[in-house]
């Protein structure tokens, strides 16, 4: 029978086609990043209420598939678009009308701090801290001591309102160390080492902590696609050692 003989080759062809399509969909190289005008149009298009972006300030490539796009918004705010290459197109995964520092995980061992701060906050620099709180644990005879970790990276905020700080290898290592057994593979922690967090200290020209009220709180954001993004909270001098 002709029909029966056709089944196997047809099946093989369909299977190859599916594999090829999947490969094409997930592994094809990103196309050229869109022009500013197209970025603006797309973000205004998908943001609920529309018309948030007035001017695109820059497009900073964190890697081949992740681009940070700081912009000035139509109501005088400084915001940011988080663009990713996914399913054969460039798309804004997340849009924020305020640009307080955020941490973006672009790969399991790759973290970037990104920001776009309002110039009226008059910040001179930001100190970013990687912290693990000191702790101890006693269960029966078994003692565990968790040493305090406090590391600092300073960035200058005077030249531009926006910026990117790709974390150093040692910070990436600390954040991804497997620290405890209780790691649930289903529930994925932002940092594989749950004892560690990152915070920042906004400093004015007198090197004093100032609350950047124009850049923090009261913004609107919209998440369009999956993105590993986390807030960075402000830390006080009293919390430092």
Partner 1 sequence: MGTTDVVTISASILAWVSIFVVFYFTYKTHQEKLAFWKVFIIFMIGIFSFSYNFNFKSTVISIPVLPLGVWFLMLWYRTRRSLWQNYHRFAWVGFFSAFIFAFTTLLTIPVQHVIYPADEISTYIADTDHVSILQTHPSAEERVLDHTKLTIYMRQMEQHPIHSVKWYDDAVMESQRGRTTERFPYQLTGVQPKWGSGKHAIIFVEADGKGLLITTPKHQYYFRSDEPLFKEDAHT
- For residue 151, report the phi and psi dihedrals to the nearest 5 degrees: -125, 150
Q: Is residue 181 involved in binding partner 1 (CB under 8 A)?
A: yes
DSSP state of 222: E
Q: Which of 27, 49, 142, 206 binds partner 1 (CB under 8 A)?
A: 142
DSSP for 130-199?
Answer: EEE--EEEEETTEEEEE--EEEEEEEE-SS-SEEEEEPPHHHHHHHH----S---SSS--SSSSTTEEEE
Stretch that binds partner 1, among 38-46, 150-158, 209-217, 228-236 (CB under 8 A): 150-158
Stretch that binds partner 1, among 61-69, 92-100, 174-182, 205-213 (CB under 8 A): 174-182
Round to whole Å and give the CA distance between 97 and 132.
31
Task: Quote the least distance from Cβ 149 to partner 1, whole Å.
Answer: 4
Task: Quote the least distance from Cβ 175 to partner 1, whole Å.
Answer: 12
Q: Please, which residue, 2 or 138, has the CB nearer to partner 1?
A: 138
Q: How many CB atoms lie within 10 A of CB 80?
A: 26
Q: How big is the site for partner 1, counted in residues (CB under 8 A)?
A: 24
Q: Is residue 5 involved in binding partner 1 (CB under 8 A)?
A: no
Task: Quote the least distance from Cβ 173 to partner 1, whole Å.
Answer: 6
Using the CB atoms, write b or e for 152-161: b if 16+ within 10 Å: ebeeebeeeb
Q: Is residue 150 involved in binding partner 1 (CB under 8 A)?
A: yes
Applying CB under 8 A, which residues contact partner 1?
A: 134-138, 142-145, 147-152, 170, 173-174, 177-181, 241
């Amino acid at each position: 029978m002709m029909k029966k003989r056709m089944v196997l080759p047809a099946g093989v062809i369909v299977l190859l086609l599916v594999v090829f399509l999947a490969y094409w969909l997930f592994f094809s190289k990103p196309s050229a990043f869109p022009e500013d005008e197209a970025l603006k149009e797309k973000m205004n298009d998908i943001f609920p209420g529309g018309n948030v972006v007035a001017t695109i300030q820059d497009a900073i490539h964190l890697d081949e598939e992740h681009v940070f796009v700081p912009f000035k918004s139509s109501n005088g705010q400084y915001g940011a678009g988080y663009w990713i290459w996914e399913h054969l197109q460039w798309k804004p995964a997340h849009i924020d009308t305020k640009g307080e520092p955020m941490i973006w995980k672009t790969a399991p061992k790759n973290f970037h701090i990104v920001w776009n701060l309002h110039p009226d906050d008059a910040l001179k620099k930001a100190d970013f801290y990687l912290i693990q709180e000191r702790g101890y644990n006693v269960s029966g005879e078994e003692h565990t001591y968790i040493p305090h970790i406090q590391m600092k990276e300073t960035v200058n905020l005077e030249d531009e309102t926006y910026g990117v700080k790709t974390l150093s290898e040692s910070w990436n290592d600390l954040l991804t160390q497997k620290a405890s057994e209780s790691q649930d593979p289903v529930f994925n922690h932002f940092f594989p080492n749950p004892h560690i967090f990152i915070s920042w200290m906004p400093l004015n020209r007198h090197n004093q902590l100032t609350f950047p009220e124009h850049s923090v709180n009261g913004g609107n954001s919209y998440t369009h696609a999956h993105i590993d993004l986390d807030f960075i909270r402000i830390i006080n001098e009293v919390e430092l050692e």
